[in-house]
Every structure is written in structure tokens, then in C-alpha cells.
A = this chain, B = another copy of it.
Amino acid sequence: MSVAAKPLNPRKTPLQGRSRATCDAILEAAARILESEGRQAFTTNHVAELAGVSVGSLYQYFPGKEAIVAVLVRQMRREMLDDFKEAVRQSRGEDLPGAARALVRAAVRHHLRRPALAQVLEREEADLPLDAETGQLKQRLRELVVGVVADHGVAEPDVAALDLIAMCHGMVDAAVQGGERDFAQLCARLERAVLGYLNAGDIRR
């Protein structure tokens, strides 16, 4: 009955080129299965088969399937954070609408690469014992956005950042789920939402 806290970190770091390729194949196969067949099809045997390697090889590098997901999640996170850092860099010297545009672009770009995968991994994250890491990521992302809005004199930048992130997240999520592909138009609507929210705040004081 005890859960025994299974390890999530890779078992062994690949040293040679071919083992690196094996790991990549496993990760890619896992991603493909998650994004197009769903979690019930996500079994170690199936992942290995699709990757063209044996289960034994899989277990040489990953202690279990959760560990594979953990790597994918971390990859996604790093990309997302990088996108946002770049957006913040670009937004220096811009006015508020310009800054909003840069941030919104980052939020969309993150889902642009592999929309279905991004969505699944976010759901998967909830079942993974990565709470501390997840918290850190959210915190950094929030700080980035807080910095930008604070620079433009927005009141209560902390709350505003939280809300802006959440509303953009919701809108992008819905758009992807609904199969929208016109990302330029989506960006425009996100900007409208962001600027609208910020304006409404100004009006009140």
C-alpha cells in the first residue's frame, strides 16, 4: 500500500553517441504517443516499441515511465522560460502596448511548436511529484511579468502579473483545444485582453 516514492531522475547518463540517440528516440516516441494516442496507450513497452528499442534499454536510462514524462516536462519548461526571458529583453524600451505584444507572442510561441504535446504535458504535470519545481517555474515566470508591468507603473503589479498569466493561459488553451490555427489573430485578441485588463485597473484609481 505504501507508495515508496519512485525515483524520477534518469538512471544513467548516456556516454556514447548511440546511447544518446536511444534516449532521444525514447523521448520522442513518448511525446508522440502522449500527443496522439493518449495516456492509456503510454506504456513502457509501447514506448520502447515505437522508439525502435527494447524495453531493457528504456529501463537502462529511465527508472520508470514517470521519469520520461518528467524529462519532457522539464524540457518544455525550459523552452517556455527562455521564450519569456527573450520577450522581456525585447520589451525593454517599448511602451506598454509594445511590451504586451512581446509577452503575448512568447505565450503563443510556446504552444506553437507542438500544441497537443504542450497541452498533454501540462495535464501530466499535475500527477507528477514536481510540486517544488513547478512552483519555482511559476514564480520565475511571474517575476518576469511583474518586472515588466511594474516598469510601466501598473498598480499592484504582483496581482496583475498573476491574472495576466492566467488569462492568457486560458485563452491560448481554449484556442489550441478548439483547433484554431490563426495565431496572429489569437495574438491580437490576447493583446486586447491584456491591455483591457490593465486599462480597467487605471480607470478605477
Q: A residues touching B (Cβ–Cβ < 8 Å)? A: 38-40, 123, 126-127, 159, 162-163, 165-171, 173-175, 178, 189, 192-193, 195-201, 204
Contacts and interface: CB of A to CB of B under 8 A. Distances in A.
A189 B174 contact: no
Contacts of A159: 189
A134 B200 CA distance: 33
Given A169-B174, A193-B200, 10 more contacts: A166-B170, A166-B171, A167-B193, A169-B173, A192-B200, A193-B193, A193-B197, A196-B196, A196-B199, A199-B200
25 contacts: A38-B127, A39-B127, A163-B171, A163-B193, A165-B174, A166-B173, A166-B174, A166-B175, A167-B167, A167-B170, A167-B193, A168-B170, A169-B173, A169-B174, A192-B200, A192-B201, A192-B204, A193-B193, A193-B196, A193-B197, A196-B196, A196-B199, A197-B197, A199-B199, A199-B200
Contacts of A204: 192
A40 B197 CA distance: 39
A170 B171 CA distance: 7
Contact of A200 (B173, B174, B195): B195
A65 to B, nearest CB: 12
A203 B203 CA distance: 14
